Amino acid sequence: MSVALDVMDEELTGWGLAQAARCKVARPEAVAGIADAFAEAARAGQTVALRGAGCSYGDAALNANALVLDCSRLNRILAWDVESGQITVEPGVTIARVWRRTLPDGWWPTVVPGTSAVTVGGAAAMNIHGKNNWHAGAFGESVLAFDLLLPSGKTLTCSRVENADLFTAAIGGMGLLGAFTALTLQTRRVHSGNVWEVTSVHNSLDELIAALDEATTWATDLVAWIDTSARGKRLGRGLLKMSRDLAPDEDLHPAMTLTEAYQTRQRPLMARLPKGWLPRIARPMTTPAGVWLSNRGQWTSGQGVRHRGSHLTSYVGANFPLDAIPGWRESYRPGGLLQHQSMIPAEAASAAFREILDRSQRAGLTPSFAVLKKHRASDALLSCLVDGYSLALDYPVRRGQEGKLRELLGALNDIAAEADGRIYFAKDSTLAPAQTQRMYGDALERFHALKRQYDPQGLLTTDLYQRAIAPLFGD
Ligand SMILES: Cc1cc2nc3c(=O)[nH]c(=O)nc-3n(C[C@H](O)[C@H](O)[C@H](O)COP(=O)(O)OP(=O)(O)OC[C@H]3O[C@@H](n4cnc5c(N)ncnc54)[C@H](O)[C@@H]3O)c2cc1C
């Protein structure tokens, strides 16, 4: 069936607001709309980029002056099996929709990112990770099968046993091989809508990493906040947030805590401010003095946790704290923010992260926010994940400093490469082709061979692909 698509000329941005492009945007509501758009673009010799919720920070879902297919309206839940915890969805279904459907039955998505706004298609295309990555693996490991609509118009069902090469390449394949049109996920059993959460304080990066490693023996989720202003011996000091699932009989009221109403009952004070106030109040926090002050405030309030034991928090509160503060990224306007997330093998991580933090401070570009996580490698073909740790850093883009900031991030990419690490494409805005080659090596050749096979005309692209990968192959 052919479906006429409205195409609008729009300016799209990455989530960090620092990258924008004028694109021709269509929002198909049925799979036939994607197939038609592929055929039409191929006839016209145009390119197509796929887009989910636009939560990638840089240019991963942009296609300047060409077509972008926003898949967020392909948002039906196709099947839910309460016995097995398997759910089949269209690609535009968000993580929020998934947990709302599964949690009341005692299942939680196996891997979730820091915001529930991302779509399942976008999560699979970037092979996203959660705070449980070191033991649960990446998002792709919870994907049992998917249908992939190829640029030829043909749909292939892929799993670990059927079209397995395409399965491991399309997971993390950034929408460059085909469009996911249906995905089946394995969710995980939970016995309560609450988790136990506890925070500890650590005076240096090595102390923080040691505590994180120690907590892996019992915690379900681990994430550390780092004081980016601390220097010298205290460089990389921070707070470690640890949480664990409740055992089967620990919650006396699971029927209540598993409900959507319980999960969404608390709204922090900031979320109750009139629309537009928060960015105005928070904007000074993105200035150099504001970054120093907010680090000091966070660290000082962290001292209080020394005396606070573990407490219960809802899954939504523990996993998506930023979702409760609508519009917080607006405080980074007008310049937006660039994020830099490097994944470094365990043995080199501490030295590389200290160099990254120190180099940023010396450049006068101290990041406004920093998060440390533990990871394990993934079998996805283009995977950034390593057996080690990642450091994600937010950099405000201040007037007149964008060039200097991009130069710094380029240098930080080299530090990551030198340590045998990788930059996460979903957060990237600065990788140069030679750096991508150095980090992803042979996997890039294998990925490109599959791209030639399944997308010989080069229909599918993005600004990120054009910037960081295509020049390596003369595409
Ligand atoms: C506040 C915040 C916190 C975050 N926390 C984390 C985190 O903890 N861990 C983590 O890993 N990431 C995290 N991210 C990044 C985010 O999870 C990824 O960028 C994710 O890919 C975004 O999904 P999306 O639906 O917005 O897709 P988009 O950003 O719109 O697109 C991402 C990629 O998916 C492709 N794509 C979209 N739809 C399809 C489709 N139907 N078929 C094939 N390809 C498709 C696009 O071409 C693009 O390459 C965070 C982002 C934000 C804003």
Choose which residue among 15, 17, 128, 332 to substitute to test ligand 1 binding: the one with the highest number of ligand atoms within 8 A of its C-beta: 128
Report which protein residue has its CA nearest ligand 1's atom 13: 113
Please give the single-letter amino acid code of residue 452: R
Ligand 1 atom nearest to 148, measured from its CA? 42
**How many angstroms separate the CA atoms of 442 and 439, rounded?**
9
Question: Ligand 1 centroid vs 46 CA: distance in angstroms?
Answer: 24
d(CA 176, CA 353): 31
Please tell me the residue having the least CA distance from ligand 1 atom 8. Answer: 113
- Cα 172 from Cα 378, distance rounded (Å): 10
pLDDT at residue number 1: 44
Cα(200) to ligand 1 centroid in Å equals: 30
Instruction: Calculate how far, in angstroms, residue 339's C-alpha sits from the geometric centre of ligand 1.
Output: 14
| Ligand 1 center to 309 CA (angstroms) | 35
> pLDDT in tens for each of the 475 residues of the chain?
455 789 999 999 999 999 999 999 999 999 999 999 999 999 999 999 999 999 999 999 999 999 999 999 999 999 999 999 999 999 999 999 999 999 999 999 999 999 999 999 999 999 999 999 999 999 999 999 999 999 999 999 999 999 999 999 999 999 999 999 999 999 999 999 999 999 999 999 999 999 999 999 999 999 999 999 999 999 999 999 999 999 999 999 999 999 999 999 876 666 666 667 777 778 888 899 999 999 999 999 888 866 568 999 999 999 999 898 888 899 999 999 999 999 999 999 999 999 999 999 999 999 999 999 999 999 999 999 999 999 999 999 999 999 999 999 999 999 999 999 999 999 999 999 999 999 999 999 999 999 999 999 999 999 999 999 999 999 8
How far, in Å, from the CA of 359 to the mean position of ligand 1?
28
3-state secondary structure of 232: helix
The CA-atom distances, in angstroms, between 52 and each of 70, 115, 118, 206, 376 are: 6, 13, 7, 37, 26
How many angstroms does the Cα of residue 118 sit away from the middle of ligand 1?
6
Compute the distance between CA of residue 224 and CA of residue 23 in angstroms, rounded to an integer. 37
Separation of CA 60 and ligand 1 centre (Å)? 8
The binding-site residues of ligand 1, defined as CB within 6 angstroms of any ligand atom, are 15, 49-56, 60-61, 71, 91, 113-115, 118-119, 121-123, 125-126, 128-129, 174-175, 179-180, 322, 426, 462
* CA 373–ligand 1 middle distance (angstroms): 18
User: Which of 25, 27, 51, 337 to mutate to test ligand 1, by most ligand atoms within 8 A of the CB atom?
Assistant: 51
Degrees, nearest 5: CA angle 50-52-55: 120
User: Which atom of ligand 1 is found nearest the CA of 322?
Assistant: 1
**What's the gap in Å between 119 CA and the centre of ligand 1?**
7
Determine the residue of 19, 67, 74, 118 to mutate for testing ligand 1's pocket, defined as the one with the most ligand atoms within 8 A of the Cβ atom: 118
Residue nearest to atom 3 of ligand 1 (CA): 114
Decide: 183 and 143 in contact? Cβ < 8 Å. Answer: yes
Q: How far is it, in rounded angstroms, from Cα 415 to Cα 270?
A: 37
Q: What is the largest CA-CA distance in the chain?
A: 66
